């Protein structure tokens, strides 16, 4: 018989599980119910939702609401004494709105350490803030049990939307601009400059003259009509504006850059080691334009090896608190798109004076690393120097010449390298030793191929493929890891603060959630108490060779914390390094420049000066972490847009693919032919009414019990592409035979109405 369950019992389970939402099936399991009346449980839960005690997420999940019981309109109330001083203060952060109407604020600056999670801003408490604005907030409530902080926006500090881009659309009263980002409101176009009728649908820029209020949209004056969304320059402007990227250098910064020489001058060589006789080379991608690292390897008769890693000495030219420094600090990082980049420094620096061009004298900071025959590092030394690169090599050519491949073209490449060929082969041997040692120590091998966009001469997407890494990539990767780790150890030994590159250990609860997913495919991350890198590495090794290896590896990566910068060292979990920093890319990463400056202070014996910068460096570390996340989001958005652009030429073409993720609004299918994902909506599933089962991550037919879940093979066609939303829609044509020998979980129905799980071999 089914057991009667009261509302208090259900709410108690949800309170204990907060903030994790639960399905009715999961609630029944927590309460150890055998048979139960699902309809009655749903009535109780919906009543609690109506009473404001629970939140319903989607159609089937329920979440305890006590931590978010904040009225939508602020009410006068007596101020209580907060248990922590931090509760009474106000903080600045970046407001991020979500489609549900509420939003979150990522606290910026030193105060961020008090907020491990973003602050929830309920709908109605955003005080006119728009998505992406820098705002000031006050904390309304902090509940440490669920790690959730609720606040409200007190004022907009600075808007990233003084100007806004979007599509021109006519209205009954005139014109409006509809932003490409759906999280922003439409803008009423006012003023004498109105669009022409033939400009409807084009992308334009307006200057905001009236901010939004509770009952009135913002208004703006038309400044510029850019053109159609398909144009690459328009796409770039849209992505840059959406993510608040700085695309133009201030006049003061450009003036400083233009005053710099084209090459180092005689005075620049003072107090530097002259390494111009060493055969340094740069190894980069075919389209790279800024070369900030060069390497050289020398092997003695006894097998002892000396590796020189030379990094562009940007700190020599960019002085602290200069206009160039202020602009680089604000940007935090360079941003790379398929057809262009937004550099951290003007081209005079990034592509010329600080780029290690072949046969040009260049100033560098050098990490000189000594290894024995087995690849163990025995000594490290650091100093400023001048070098002259012998050659600008590419990953493709280096991988070919150090391989066993034979062809007329490859033989010609080998002959053109002369004595550099033997040096490259020795680099390959050292790389293999370093790589084996790193992986055996527990470093994670997340060598996932990246999507590469092929562009036409006009900059339009004509191809999407996977960029596979080769041994030339690995040579540079291992050498840069060695230099970064050696510099971090050196600075730590001298007890000076600097921005560590840290990667915290994953929360065991996140790994438990990952294991529930991996168990369906026969894998698990086994750990005891604390999760170690070796535990995750073992699971990744088991996943290798599986038909869904790339999908499963991506899920493992998502379960890990995000790497960031901090002057507080907690080690780097992913690399299994106790100490690590970024030293090797000061042209494109501001934390690397900070490390260079601290290294120069230590080398000059200015330890007190270096140690006095702890608080400033911590604030800059937090800022750079936030800039990095912003850049990654922009790069991902542009990649998604270019994939959509490519699919315009492949509408209604049948393509096989694999379901790689399942959500409550459909399944995402990745095509076999291209690394492109599109949404397969439930309405395209055949001859049944399907419902989403969160626990099984599957869409299941109510009558025929057919299901669609991760790993299923399907044939689909692209039916719709939206450049505005950067979304691709697929329609199902047929189900394909499954991969051989794969276990899969199926939900079947019993006569009693109770569900059970059955495993089938596939």
> What is the rounded CA–CA span in Å between residue 705 and residue 747?
8
SS percent in the chain: helix, strand, coil, step 5: 30, 30, 40
> What is the rounded CA–CA span in Å between residue 264 and residue 354?
10
C-alpha closest to that of 95 among 162, 169, 156? 156
Are the beta carbons of 533 and 576 closer than 8 angstroms? Answer: yes
What 3-state class would DSSP assign to 186?
A: coil
Partners of 550 in the beta sheet?
none
Check pLDDT > 50 for residue 762.
no
Q: What would the mean pLDDT of 684-690 be, rounded to a whole number?
A: 84
Three-state SS sequence of 623-658 = HHHHHHHHHHHHHHHHHHHHHHHHHHHHECCCEEEE
Please report which confidence band the pLDDT of residue 433 belongs to, taking 50, 70 and 90 as the band edges: very high
pLDDT digits (tens, 9 = 90+) for 224-277: 999 998 899 999 999 998 888 999 999 999 999 999 999 999 999 999 999 999
Please report which confidence band the pLDDT of residue 85 belongs to, taking 50, 70 and 90 as the band edges: very low
The predicted pLDDT at position 340 comes to: 92
The predicted pLDDT at position 344 comes to: 97
The predicted pLDDT at position 717 comes to: 95
CATH T-level topology, domain 85-158:
OB fold (Dihydrolipoamide Acetyltransferase, E2P) (2.40.50)
> What is the rounded CA–CA span in Å between residue 90 and residue 157?
12
> What is the rounded CA–CA span in Å between residue 381 and residue 292?
19
Q: Sort 286 into a burial class: Cβ within 10 Å, 0-12 / 13-18 / 19+.
A: exposed
> What is the rounded CA–CA span in Å between residue 294 and residue 310?
5
The predicted pLDDT at position 752 comes to: 31
Phi, psi of 747 (to 5 degrees): -100, 125
The more confidently predicted of residues 759 and 486 is: 486
CA distances (Å), origin 123, targets 73, 179, 212: 9, 20, 15
Check pLDDT > 80 for residue 7.
no
Phi, psi of 341 (to 5 degrees): -135, 155
Are the beta carbons of 334 and 588 closer than 8 angstroms? Answer: yes
C-alpha closest to that of 584 among 503, 486, 479, 484? 484
> What is the rounded CA–CA span in Å between residue 232 and residue 32?
58
The predicted pLDDT at position 88 comes to: 55
Helices (H), 393-470: 395-401, 408-417, 420-440
The more confidently predicted of residues 592 and 138 is: 592
CA distances (Å), origin 425, targets 37, 251, 407, 745: 70, 47, 18, 48
Distance of CA 158 to the CA centre of its chain: 25
The predicted pLDDT at position 19 comes to: 56
C-alpha closest to that of 141 among 84, 96, 75, 179? 84
CB atoms within 10 A of CB 411: 12
Domain with CATH 1.10.10.10 in the chain: 7-66
The predicted pLDDT at position 520 comes to: 85
691-704: burial string, b at 16+ Cβ within 10 Å, e else: ebbbbbbbbbbeee
Q: What would the mean pLDDT of 78-98 be, rounded to a whole number?
A: 62
Residue 110 tokens, joined: 């030193």
Residue 383 tokens, joined: 């100093």
Please report which confidence band the pLDDT of residue 144 belongs to, taking 50, 70 and 90 as the band edges: low
DSSP characters over 78-119: PPPPPSSGGGGSEEEEEEEE-TTS-EEEEE-GGGGGG-SSPE
CA distances (Å), origin 669, targets 120, 438, 744: 32, 35, 17
Are the beta carbons of 370 and 378 closer than 8 angstroms? Answer: yes
> What is the rounded CA–CA span in Å between residue 177 and residue 175?
7
Q: Sort 483 into a burial class: Cβ within 10 Å, 0-12 / 13-18 / 19+.
A: buried
pTM here?
Answer: 0.81
The predicted pLDDT at position 761 comes to: 29
Domain with CATH 2.40.50.140 in the chain: 85-158, 651-761
Q: What would the mean pLDDT of 575-601 be, rounded to a whole number?
A: 97
Are the beta carbons of 315 and 596 closer than 8 angstroms? Answer: yes
Check pLDDT > 50 for residue 81.
no
- What is the rounded radius of gyration, in angstroms, for the C-alpha atoms of the chain? 29
Do strands 273-274 and 377-388 pair parallel, antiparallel, or not at all (unpaired)?
parallel
Check pLDDT > 80 for residue 743.
no
Please report which confidence band the pLDDT of residue 58 belongs to, taking 50, 70 and 90 as the band edges: low
| Angle, in degrees to the nearest 10, between helices 323-331 and 590-603 | 130
Q: Which CATH number fits domain 7-66: 3.40.718.10, 1.10.10.10, 2.60.40.10, 3.20.80.10?
A: 1.10.10.10
CB atoms within 10 A of CB 441: 13
How many residues are listed for the chain in this entry?
A: 762
> What is the rounded CA–CA span in Å between residue 420 and residue 414?
9
Three-state SS sequence of 197-265 = HHHCCCEEEEEEEECCECCECCEEEEEEEEECCCCHHHHHHHHHHHCCCCCCCCHHHHHHHHCCCCCCC
C-alpha closest to that of 742 among 728, 758, 761, 756? 761
The more confidently predicted of residues 198 and 50 is: 198
Please report which confidence band the pLDDT of residue 504 belongs to, taking 50, 70 and 90 as the band edges: very high
Residue 625 tokens, joined: 């972490």
Please report which confidence band the pLDDT of residue 32 belongs to, taking 50, 70 and 90 as the band edges: low
DSSP characters over 514-543: HHHHHGGGT-----BSB--HHHHHHHHHHH
Are the beta carbons of 183 and 102 closer than 8 angstroms? Answer: no
> What is the rounded CA–CA span in Å between residue 305 and residue 372?
6
The predicted pLDDT at position 35 comes to: 66
pLDDT digits (tens, 9 = 90+) for 397-432: 999 999 999 999 999 999 999 999 999 999 999 999
Lowest mean pLDDT among 58-72, 171-185, 249-263, 634-648: 58-72
Mean pLDDT of the chain: 86
Q: What sign results for the dihedral spanned by CA atoms 437, 440, 444, 445?
A: positive
> What is the rounded CA–CA span in Å between residue 23 and residue 61?
4
Q: Sort 343 into a burial class: Cβ within 10 Å, 0-12 / 13-18 / 19+.
A: buried
The more confidently predicted of residues 695 and 358 is: 358
CB atoms within 10 A of CB 751: 5
Question: What are the residues whose beta carbons fall under 8 Å from the beta carbon of 274, sequence distance 6 or more?
Answer: 385, 386
Which CATH number applies to 651-761?
Answer: 2.40.50.140
Most confident region among 21-25, 180-184, 592-596 by mean pLDDT: 592-596
C-alpha closest to that of 532 among 578, 497, 480, 587? 578
> What is the rounded CA–CA span in Å between residue 323 and residue 240?
22
Are the beta carbons of 728 and 679 closer than 8 angstroms? Answer: yes
Are the beta carbons of 163 and 205 closer than 8 angstroms? Answer: yes
The predicted pLDDT at position 704 comes to: 82
> What is the rounded CA–CA span in Å between residue 4 and residue 115?
41
553-586: burial string, b at 16+ Cβ within 10 Å, e else: bebbeebbeebbbbbebebbbbbbbebbbbbbbb
Do strands 564-566 and 666-671 pair parallel, antiparallel, or not at all (unpaired)?
unpaired
> What is the rounded CA–CA span in Å between residue 279 and residue 135?
52
The predicted pLDDT at position 82 comes to: 37
pLDDT digits (tens, 9 = 90+) for 366-409: 999 999 999 999 999 999 999 999 999 999 999 999 999 999 99
Please report which confidence band the pLDDT of residue 746 belongs to, taking 50, 70 and 90 as the band edges: very low
C-alpha closest to that of 624 among 391, 348, 331? 331
Lowest mean pLDDT among 109-123, 566-580, 700-714: 109-123
Lowest mean pLDDT among 11-15, 69-73, 185-189, 362-366: 69-73
C-alpha closest to that of 397 among 298, 279, 278, 282? 282
Q: Which CATH number fits domain 163-228: 3.40.190.10, 2.40.50.700, 1.20.140.10, 2.40.170.20?
A: 2.40.50.700
Number of helices (H), then strands (E), in the chain = 18, 36
Check pLDDT > 50 for residue 754.
no
Q: What would the mean pLDDT of 317-336 be, rounded to a whole number?
A: 96
């Amino acid at each position: 018989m089914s057991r009667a369950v009261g509302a208090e019992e259900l709410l108690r389970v949800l309170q204990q599980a907060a903030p994790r939402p639960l399905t009715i099936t999961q609630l029944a399991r927590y309460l150890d119910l055998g048979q139960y009346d699902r309809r009655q449980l749903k009535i109780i839960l919906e009543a609690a939702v109506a009473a404001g005690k629970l939140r319903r997420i989607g159609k089937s999940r329920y979440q305890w609401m006590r931590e978010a019981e904040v009225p939508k309109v602020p009410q006068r109330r007596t101020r209580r004494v907060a248990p922590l001083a931090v509760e009474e203060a106000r903080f600045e952060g970046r407001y991020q709105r979500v489609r549900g109407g509420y939003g979150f604020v990522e606290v910026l600056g030193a105060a961020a350490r008090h907020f491990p999670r973003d602050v929830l801003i309920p709908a109605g408490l955003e005080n006119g803030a728009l998505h992406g604005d820098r705002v000031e907030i006050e904390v309304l409530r902090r509940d440490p049990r669920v790690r959730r902080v609720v606040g409200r926006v007190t004022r907009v500090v600075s808007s990233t939307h003084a100007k806004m881009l979007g599509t021109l659309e006519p209205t009954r009263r005139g014109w409006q601009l509809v932003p490409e980002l759906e999280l922003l409101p439409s803008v009423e176009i006012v003023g004498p400059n109105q669009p022409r009728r033939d400009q409807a649908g084009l992308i334009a820029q307006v200057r905001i003259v009236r901010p939004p209020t509770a009952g009135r949209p913002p208004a703006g004056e038309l400044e510029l009509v850019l053109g159609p969304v398909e144009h690459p320059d328009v796409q770039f402007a849209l992505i840059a504006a959406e993510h608040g990227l700085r695309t133009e250098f201030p006049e003061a910064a450009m003036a400083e850059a233009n005053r710099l020489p084209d090459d180092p001058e005689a005075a620049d060589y003072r107090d530097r080691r002259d390494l111009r006789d060493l055969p340094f080379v740069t190894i980069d991608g075919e389209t790279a334009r800024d070369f900030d690292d060069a390497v050289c390897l020398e092997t003695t008769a006894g097998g002892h090896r000396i590796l020189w890693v030379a990094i562009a000495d940007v700190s020599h030219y960019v002085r602290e608190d200069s206009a160039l420094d202020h602009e680089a600090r604000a940007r935090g990082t360079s941003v790379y798109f398929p057809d262009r980049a937004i550099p951290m420094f003007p081209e005079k620096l990034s592509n010329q004076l600080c780029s290690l061009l072949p046969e040009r004298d260049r100033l560098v900071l050098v990490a000189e690393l000594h290894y024995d025959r087995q690849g163990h590092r025995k000594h490290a030394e650091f100093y400023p120097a001048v070098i002259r690169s012998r050659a600008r090599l590419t990953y493709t050519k280096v991988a070919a010449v150090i391989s066993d491949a034979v062809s007329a073209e490859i033989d010609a490449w080998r002959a053109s390298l002369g004595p550099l060929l033997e040096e490259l082969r020795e680099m390959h041997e050292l790389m293999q030793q370093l790589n084996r040692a790193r992986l055996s120590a527990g470093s994670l091998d997340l060598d996932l191929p990246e999507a590469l966009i092929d562009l036409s001469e006009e900059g339009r997407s004509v191809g999407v493929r996977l960029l596979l890494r080769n041994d030339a990539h690995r040579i540079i990767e291992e050498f840069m890891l060695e230099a970064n780790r050696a510099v971090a150890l050196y600075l730590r030994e001298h007890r000076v603060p600097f921005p560590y590159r840290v990667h915290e250990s994953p929360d065991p609860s996140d790994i438990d959630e990952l294991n529930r997913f991996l168990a369906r495919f026969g894998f698990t991350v086994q750990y005891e108490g604390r999760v170690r890198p070796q535990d995750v590495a073992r699971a990744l090794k088991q996943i290798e060779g599986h038909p869904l290896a790339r999908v499963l590896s991506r899920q493992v990566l998502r379960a890990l914390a995000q790497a960031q910068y901090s002057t507080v060292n907690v080690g780097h979990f992913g690399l299994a390094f106790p100490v690590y920093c970024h030293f090797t890319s000061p042209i494109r990463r501001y934390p690397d420049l900070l490390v260079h400056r601290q290294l120069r202070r230590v080398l000059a014996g200015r330890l007190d000066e270096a140690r006095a910068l702890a608080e400033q460096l911590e604030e800059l570390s937090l800022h750079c972490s936030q800039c990095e996340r912003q850049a990654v989001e922009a790069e991902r958005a542009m990649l998604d847009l270019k994939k959509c652009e490519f699919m315009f030429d492949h509408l209604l073409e049948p393509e096989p693919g694999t379901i790689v993720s399942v959500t409550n609004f459909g399944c995402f299918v990745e095509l076999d032919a291209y690394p492109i994902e599109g949404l397969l909506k439930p309405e395209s599933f055949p001859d049944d009414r399907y419902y989403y089962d969160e626990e099984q991550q599957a869409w299941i037919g109510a009558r025929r019990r057919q299901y669609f879940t991760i790993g299923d093979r399907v044939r689909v066609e692209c039916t719709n592409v939206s450049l505005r939303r950067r979304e691709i829609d697929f329609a199902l044509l047929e189900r394909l035979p499954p991969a051989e020998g794969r276990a899969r979980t199926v939900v079947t129905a019993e006569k009693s109405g109770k569900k059970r799980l059955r495993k089938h071999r596939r």
